[in-house]
């Protein structure tokens, strides 16, 4: 009997991942390889490709958490095999999810917060869509009870994240986005009467506008809707998109009235993975009361032997982010969140004060009163010799990622840059960023870019 001889093996003492067979060529891109490979070699090669992404801590364009405690990493590892949707199989994980919902309801001043409802989501975009769907179905039920048509729903908003345009298209709702006029940076109370009508399912107010990081005046918007109801009888609810501000305002702007303390606010969404300080992949939506979430949106699924109510858009998803969110709420407490968010705000304001001294720049938002961030534009864009897109490219050479983009409808001719200060972006890092921006502007001023091909750099979550 003849046996095939195996190729000579490499002694462990001289084995090297970078001399493995899979290391001898470019990694497969279009077809699964036929043979297996050493797991250490594959790990090293994939890790090396990830180095091309750059340093996420220097990404000051993203709202998302880029710093995690070691304990968070350990909890995520322990939860890697838990499917969030299997509430019957993982009842304690489901209990932890509801604890977070009730804690947030209490943080946002919901009446009887221990009785209200909500859920975790895959980021805040799904949470926005659930809030929008609840508004649509509540409006539809009211219209049907009055014997009126339900074929032309709309919602009114200012500058919003792209998920709201997706909601409008996917669920057949007209998005009435109020154009910016003058020096406006968001939706204003005086805009509402012109855009709201009997088909308006709700007004979306944003607590932390994606473009400029300012808050829209929720209480004043509610006051305008109160006046509209008194004048013409339209009772229009508010959904607050607090993707970022929902974990900032309660801690460092506690006097601000924006949440369920405003009776017209019926639902709120927030991103746990932004200023909630949880890892990427978790959002939250909470309703003022159980009556504000229509029963028609709740499905009861017989799954793994249990009766499971569900109203999320996604089904199977990891549980680790929810568990990590609970860990952060317990570990930091209100005192810890207040300290971290205030430190971020102080750093943003220090950066803004430094940027304000650069002649080429004009501040739009200086980090005071809203998110820990700054937003600015070129003071004389036509005479500068470069664009903010060129500036973004220049500081990228130092590893920084900064968002540059046009403002929304009504102010499309205004190009801005936005810098976000999150946990892990230290005062020292902000000082280095400021110095790099100064050097970049000095270089671009001496070396104009007359035919710039730079395009928008914009980051969604």
Tens of pLDDT, residues 221-246: 999 999 999 999 999 999 999 999 99
Enter the pTM of the model.
0.91
Residue 122 to residue 322: CA distance in whole angstroms: 10
Cα–Cα dist 327/337, whole Å: 13
**Residue 304: predicted pLDDT:** 58
288 and 149 within one domain: yes
Alpha helices in 208-248 (DSSP H): 218-232
Segment 399-417 shows an average pLDDT of: 90
Q: Same structural domain for residues 296 and 431?
A: no
pLDDT tens digits along 344-376: 999 999 999 999 999 999 999 999 999 999 999
Same domain (yes/no): 313, 343? no
- The DSSP letter of residue 364 is E
Residues 180 and 163 in one domain: yes
Each residue's pLDDT tens digit, 71-116:
999 999 999 999 888 887 888 999 999 999 999 999 999 999 999 9
Any residues with CB less than 8 A from the CB of 191 and at least 6 apart, and which? 156, 158, 178
Q: Is the model's pLDDT at 395 over the cut of 70?
A: yes
Domain termination site, one of 329, 344, 378: 329
Nearest to 78 by CA among 268, 280, 321: 321
Q: In the prediction, which pLDDT does 154 show?
A: 98
Strands lying side by side in the sheet with 361-365: 361-365, 373-378, 415-420, 403-406
Domain co-membership, 187 together with 261: yes
pLDDT at 88: 78
Instruction: For residue 164, tell me if it sits in a domain.
Output: yes
Round to whole Å and give the CA distance between 410 and 179: 5
What pLDDT does 307 receive? 63
Does some domain include residue 161?
yes
Distance CA 249, CA 228 (A): 27
Q: Are 389 and 315 part of one and the same domain?
A: no
Domain total of the chain: 2
Q: Is 3 a domain residue?
A: no
Residues 194 and 257 in one domain: yes
Write phi, then psi, for 34 (nearest 5 degrees). -70, -40
Asked, for residue 345, whether it belongs to a domain, the answer is: yes
| pLDDT: which is higher, 409 or 427 | 427
Q: Using pLDDT thresholds of 50, 70 and 90, give the confidence band for residue 16.
A: confident
In this prediction, residues 293-314 reach a mean pLDDT of: 77
Q: Tell me, yes or no, whether 10 lies in a domain.
A: no
Task: Report the CATH number at residue 376.
Answer: 3.90.1150.160
- Which pLDDT score is estimated for 455? 53
Could you tell me the pLDDT band of residue 461, with boundaries at 50, 70 and 90? very low
Same domain, 190 and 130: yes
Which whole number is the average pLDDT over 376-390?
Answer: 95
Phi, psi of 53 (to 5 degrees): -70, -20
Across the chain, mean pLDDT equals: 91
Instruction: pLDDT band for 411, please (50, 70, 90 cuts).
Output: confident
Q: Are residues 321 and 248 in the same domain?
A: yes
Is the pLDDT at 20 greater than 70? The verdict is no
Question: What is the C-alpha to C-alpha distance for residues 287 and 304, in angstroms, rounded to an integer?
Answer: 28
Confidence of residue 305 (pLDDT cuts 50, 70, 90): low
CATH number at residue 102: 3.40.640.10
Residue at a domain's end among 302, 329, 356: 329
Domain boundary (300, 329, 358) is at 329
Residue 289 has pLDDT above 60, yes or no: yes
Phi then psi for residue 204, to 5 deg, are: -100, 115
Question: What is the rounded average pLDDT of the residues 403-410?
Answer: 87
Domain extent, residue 420, equals 334-446
Could you tell me which of 341, 286, 321, 351 has the C-alpha nearest to residue 131?
286
Residue 90 and residue 110 in one domain: yes
Flag whether 399 is in a domain: yes
Which helix (H) or strand (E) segment holds residue 373: the answer is strand 373-378
Specify the pLDDT at position 436: 98
User: Are both 352 and 312 inside the same structural domain?
Assistant: no
Q: Tell me what pLDDT residue 333 has.
A: 98
Question: Are 350 and 412 within one domain?
Answer: yes
Tell me whether residue 369 is in a domain: yes
* pLDDT band, residue 11 (cuts 50/70/90): low
pLDDT digits (tens, 9 = 90+) for 144-173: 999 999 999 999 999 999 999 999 999 999
Instruction: With residue 97 as reference, give the H or E element that holds it.
Output: helix 91-107
Domain-located, residue 38: no
């Amino acid at each position: 009997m003849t046996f095939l001889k195996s190729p000579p093996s490499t002694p462990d003492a001289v084995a090297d991942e970078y001399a493995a067979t899979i290391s001898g060529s470019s990694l497969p891109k279009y077809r699964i390889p036929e043979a297996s490979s050493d797991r250490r070699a594959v790990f090293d090669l994939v890790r090396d490709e990830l180095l091309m992404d750059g340093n996420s801590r220097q990404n000051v364009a993203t709202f998302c958490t880029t710093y995690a405690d070691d304990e968070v990493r350990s909890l995520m590892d322990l939860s890697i095999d838990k499917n969030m949707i299997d509430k019957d199989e993982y009842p304690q994980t489901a209990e932890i999810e509801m604890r977070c919902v009730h804690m947030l309801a209490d943080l946002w001043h919901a009446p009887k917060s221990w009785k209200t409802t909500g859920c975790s989501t895959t980021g805040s975009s799904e949470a926005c869509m659930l809030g929008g769907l609840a508004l649509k179905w509540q409006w539809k039920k009211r219209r049907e009870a009055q014997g009126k048509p339900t074929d032309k729903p709309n919602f009114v908003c200012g500058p919003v994240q792209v998920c709201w345009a997706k909601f409008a298209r996917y669920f057949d709702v007209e998005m009435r986005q109020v154009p910016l006029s003058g020096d406006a940076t968001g939706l204003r109370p005086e805009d509402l009467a012109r855009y709201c009508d009997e088909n308006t399912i709700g007004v979306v107010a944003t607590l932390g506008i994606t473009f400029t990081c300012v808050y829209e005046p929720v209480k004043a918007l509610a006051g305008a809707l109160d006046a509209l109801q008194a004048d013409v009888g339209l009772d229009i609810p508010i959904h607050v998109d607090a993707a970022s501000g929902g974990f900032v305002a309660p801690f460092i702007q506690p006097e601000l009235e924006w949440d369920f303390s405003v009776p017209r606010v019926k639902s709120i969404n927030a991103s746990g993975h932004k200023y909630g300080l949880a890892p990427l992949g978790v959002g939250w939506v909470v309703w003022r009361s159980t009556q504000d979430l229509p029963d028609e949106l709740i499905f009861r699924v017989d799954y793994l032997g249990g009766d499971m109510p569900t109203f999320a858009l996604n089904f199977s998803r990891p549980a680790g982010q929810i568990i990590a969110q609970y860990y952060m709420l317990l570990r930091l407490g209100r005192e810890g969140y207040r300290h971290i968010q205030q430190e971020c705000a102080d750093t943003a304001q220090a950066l803004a004060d430094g940027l304000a001294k650069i002649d080429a720049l004009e501040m739009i938002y200086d980090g005071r009163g809203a998110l820990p961030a700054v937003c600015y534009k070129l003071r004389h864009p036509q005479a500068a010799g470069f664009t903010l897109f060129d500036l973004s490219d220049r500081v990228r050479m130092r590893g920084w990622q900064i968002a540059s983009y046009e403002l929304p409808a009504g102010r499309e001719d205004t190009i801005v840059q936005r810098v976000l200060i999150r946990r892990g972006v230290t005062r020292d890092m902000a000082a280095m960023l400021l110095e790099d921006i100064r050097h970049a502007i000095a270089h671009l001023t001496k070396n104009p870019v007359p035919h710039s091909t730079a395009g928008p750099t914009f980051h969604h979550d």
